[in-house]
Every structure is written in structure tokens, then in C-alpha cells.
Amino acid sequence: MDYMQNYKLWLEDDYFDGATKQELKAIEGDEKEIEDRFFKALEFGTGGLRGVIGAGTNRMNFYTVGKATQGLANYIIKKGRAESGVAIAFDSRRFSKEFAERSALVLAANGIKAYVFESLRPTPELSFAVRELGCVSGIVITASHNPPEYNGYKCYWDDGGQVVSPWDNEIIEEVNLVENFSDCKLISLKDAKKAGLYIEIGKKIDDKFIKCVLNQSLNPGAVKKIADMFKIVYTPLNGAGNLFVRRALAELGFTNVFVVPEQENPDPDFTTIGYPNPEDPNAFKLALALAKEKDADIIIATDPDSDRVGSIVRDKNGEYVMLSGNMAGVLLCEYILSQKTKNKTLPENSAVISTIVSTDLTKVIAKTYGASYFDVLTGFKNIGSMIKDFEQTGKYEFVFGFEESYGYLSGTHARDKDAIVSAMLLCEYAAYLKLEGKTLTDALGEIYEKYGYFKESTQSITLKGVEGLKAIKTIMENIRSNPPSEVCGQMVFSFGDYKNRITKDMLTGQSEGITLPVSDVLYFVLGDGSWFCIRPSGTEPKIKIYFGVKGKTEEEADKKMKDLSAGVMYIINKEIP
């Protein structure tokens, strides 16, 4: 069935409601818009769903959410796990609560108990709740840091982590087997509650979650000593983190926490920011103004589902400096490992996990403290999966994990990145340093002096719509087929093709296998140790390019980065159709 036939079906079939049909009638005659909404089904990928909200097969709506949940329900029933139930959370986006309820009612109609948070909650708490309640699965309705027109559906398994192989592909297969939207079962909220299949949860899980977060504190005494002189500005970016970050900071002992009033309460339109991404300096405009007014030591921002955290810190000159995701990750890694070593609480089999596109500096820090280091593919679900493996084998004990896109985890209470615990530890580290007359920028400088000047950056190219998807595929395949042998005067030493799971030595021509899972990723290492990586985004219509260099001085690292990024972007831009 082509896109126009799909469009007409949605207009004519009595299964689709009046509001949906009215929305679709409004685009009658706009063939490009109709094609974009109906040229494919919104793909249920390894992370679930994510797309623009609206009517159509390629949109986030009650029907696509219902189909995804019916497929999940079918899988749970096939596995004989219906009695375990599913935990459900949602953030502040448009239709998040409604999509969460629809998911719960589809599950209930299939005889599967749904444990639903009564109001918005952070994603890491959903991860925690899955194991705490003994659920087989979890769902969180969120589009993370995407623009306001998006929403999404993330799926978790019984370990509290996002679904990974082989369960991800098996669930995808079940979702794809639900051919007709009318095949989705549904029950009323009243009947679901009466049958004991719709259960609201909240405070008890909150209390247990926050207790686990506070258990990750390394220097609570330092916080209490300086609490009256230490000031924090926090913005939840109109999302789910507000009550939870503030509670963790307050219970740890911080007394001067100032919340950006315009971004304190839920706002699905993100009126004051538009793009609620703590990676974006523009998200900090109001927070920065408040910080200057209050003379704050640190600014913290969490994204709408509060799994990512961004930070701006005041240096010794009183200037505010934004930390990159890698910088914050390096600081947290050094703080956690050094303090656990000092306190003699670092396990002998301790492990640090990060992603192939994050800084190489973490490897050096881990080695210094005697911790094992592990690389995984992009996506925190891969870190969560490795934590599970550690616990099952007992060979390693997880201490810290992070990815450069502002996601961090200390502890195993969650199996996804946790902005609550990360915000708390960044503030605690800053307070600890202030007692010594230092700042986080001083600590970062000391790290570079100790280990070398590592520098990273990321660029992206947005290519929207049907043609954009084709262009992204073409670019990736062209570079995969004809990898560059030289970039900015440096010979390419090795080329890793994670789709074909082969790394090739460009000097000898010899190849060896890659043990990590299949992924559409290209990874290049140059003669001086610099590297770059190219991959399509899994959540937005973009190609993302990552760069990493190391220099003996900051100036040398800056020059290497400038040359590398210019050389690589020249190669990629030539491939854009």
C-alpha cells in the first residue's frame, strides 16, 4: 500500500477518530506532507519509537503507540511473563500522559498489569522501578531532548535497562506482526482499575529511588561544612527533574538552590527555550542570568526526562564556563575513583564503561586507579547491558559509566543514565573543591596537566524527510566503500566498519573482527592518535560526526582539532547529494 492509499484509509476507516480525520483533511492536496506522514510506518527500533506528534503512520499518535504496546504485550505473553507486569512513566511533553495511559490500557486489555506513575517522573526512576517492582518490562513516554513537536516511547526489560539483543529484535518482530491498528486490544480505564490491572504508583518508589541516589555521595560532610556559602542555580528545562534534583540536593545538605522560575514547571512547548537540550548553550540563557544575579558557583540543567545533565561552572576569575559532556564525564570519573581510592572503598575488580565516541581520557584515568575499562557502542543501553553482565558473572563491579552526550551513572540503582545522581555529584565535587579554594575548572586543568590535553568535539548535518533519509544512507555507504587514506596531512592508520564488524589496518591491508554488535558506524584512527567517527543519529534526521585529539599543550590540541574537523567535514560535505 503506497502513502496515498494509506492516507485515504485513515480518512475513510471508522477505526480512526474524528480529530485524526480532521487533522488529515487539513493537509488534503499537500502531497509532500501526506508522503512524509504515510510513506512508512514509524519504525519501532532498538530503542522504541520517536517521531513528530501527529496523525499518520509515520507519526507519534494513539494508534502507533497502541500498536507498539500490542506488539510488546504479545511478546511478554509468548515469554510467559504476563504476571510480572510493566512499569510506565512519562515526562512533560504533549500527550505524554495520554500516551502512557493508552499503553497501560492496551497492556491491561491483554491481561498484563500496568504500574503507572501518577505524574511525571525522571527516566532513571522508571529504570529503578522496573527492578524494584519485579516487572518484566518498562515504558517511558519521552522524546528526551528533542524539539517540542516530538514525542517518543522507550522500552525497558526486566533488568531495568533499555531493551538490547536478542530481546530488542524479537520485540521489533512482534510489533511488525501487528499489521492492522484494529488488532490492538483496548480496555477502559474504569474496567482496568476494577480488574486490578491499572495500579498507580509514586511516593514509595520516589523515596527508595532518592535513598539510592544519596548513597552515591562521597563527601556529605564537605557539603554540610560549606552549604551556607555555596550557591547552585538549577533549571529542569520545564521537565521531570524539578522535584527530584531539588530533593536530592536538599537532603544532601545544600541550602542555597535557586530554580529558574520560567523553566520550573512543566511546559510542553518549552516556551523560553524551544530546544530543551542541556548540550545547547542557548538552554542556559535564563539560568546564566540568574546565576550572575545570585553569584552562583555552579549551574545545572536537566533535559525533560532528566537523564541528561549539562553544567556551567564559575572559574577562579569569576567567569562562567560551560562544561562539555566529555569534560563533566572526566571530572566525575576522576572524583569518584580518587575519592573511593582515598576512602579505601574502590573494589579491586572495579570497572569503568564508556562509549567509542567519548573521550579517550577516561581510559587513562581508569588505568591510573587500577580500574578496568570497557568500550561499548553509542547508547547508554549498552552500558546498562554490561552492568547486568558484571552482576551475573561477578567478574567486575561497576563504578562509573558515561557517554559524551551528557549522560552519566554512578551506582547500579538505575540501568540508564541518571541526571539526578550526576547533578548531585557535580555539585558535591564543586563544593568539596571550594573548601580547598579551588573550582571545577581548576580540577579539570590539573587533570589535563596530569594525563595530557585531550580534546573532543561533535558536529552534525541535518537532512530531513524522505530525501534526507536517502542522502544519509548514500553518504554512509559512499564513505564505507571508499574510506579516506589521509586526512589533513595525517595518514589513516585504521578503519573500523561496525556494520560489517571489521577493522582494517590501512597500512598492511589486514583485517580483524569487531566483537561489538552490528551498528551503522564508521571509525577512523590517524597516525598521531587522533580519531573521528561517523554515524546516523538514532533519534533525529542527522549524521553525527565525532572528533578526538590529544596534545602536549592546550594550544597543540586546539590546532589538531581545528585541522581534523575541517578535513573531515570537507570529505563528508562532498558526499551530500
Residues labelled catalytic = 144
Is there a contact between 220 and 278 (Cβ–Cβ < 8 Å)? no
Which set of grid coordinates corresponds to residue 394?
A: 561477578
Please state, in angstroms and rounded to a whole number, the distance separating the CA atoms of residues 36 and 258: 43
Phi, psi of 64 (to 5 degrees): -70, -35
Q: Is residue 307 within 8 Å of 407, Cβ to Cβ?
A: yes
Q: Is residue 24 left, alpha or beta, with left meaning phi > 0 and alpha meaning psi from -120 to 50?
A: alpha
Instruction: In whole angstroms, give the CA distance from residue 412 to residue 399.
Output: 8
Pairwise CA distance, residues 408 & 245, whole Å: 15
CA 567 vs CA 447, 483, 493, 562: distances in Å:
29, 13, 16, 9
CA distance 40 to 6: 9
The residue among 281, 224, 269 whose CA lies nearest residue 251 is 224
**3 state SS for 315-347:** CCCCCEEEECHHHHHHHHHHHHHHHHHHCCCCC
Q: Residue 72 to residues 81, 82, 162, 239, 367: CA-CA distances in angstroms?
A: 11, 11, 13, 27, 41
Peptide bond into 266 cis (omega under 30): no
- Contact by Cβ (8 Å): 529, 554: no
Q: Which of 121, 119, 115 is nearest to 136 (CA)?
A: 115
- Chain centroid to Cα 127, Å, comes to 13
- Residue given cell 573511593 in the structure block: 340
Residue 108 is given by DSSP the state H
Partners of 401 in the beta sheet? 353, 409
The alpha carbon dihedral of 36, 38, 44, 46 has a sign of negative
Q: Where are the beta strands (DSSP E) in 221-346?
A: 232-235, 257-259, 298-302, 309-314, 320-323
| Closest-CA residue to 270 (of 234, 231, 301, 237) | 237
Cell of residue 140, nine digits: 517511558
Q: Which three cell numbers stand for residue 557?
A: 590540541
- For 398-411, b/e burial (b = at least 16 CB within 10 A) is bbbbbbbbbbbbbb
Question: At 223, phi and psi to the nearest 5?
Answer: -60, -45
The H or E element spanning position 237 is none
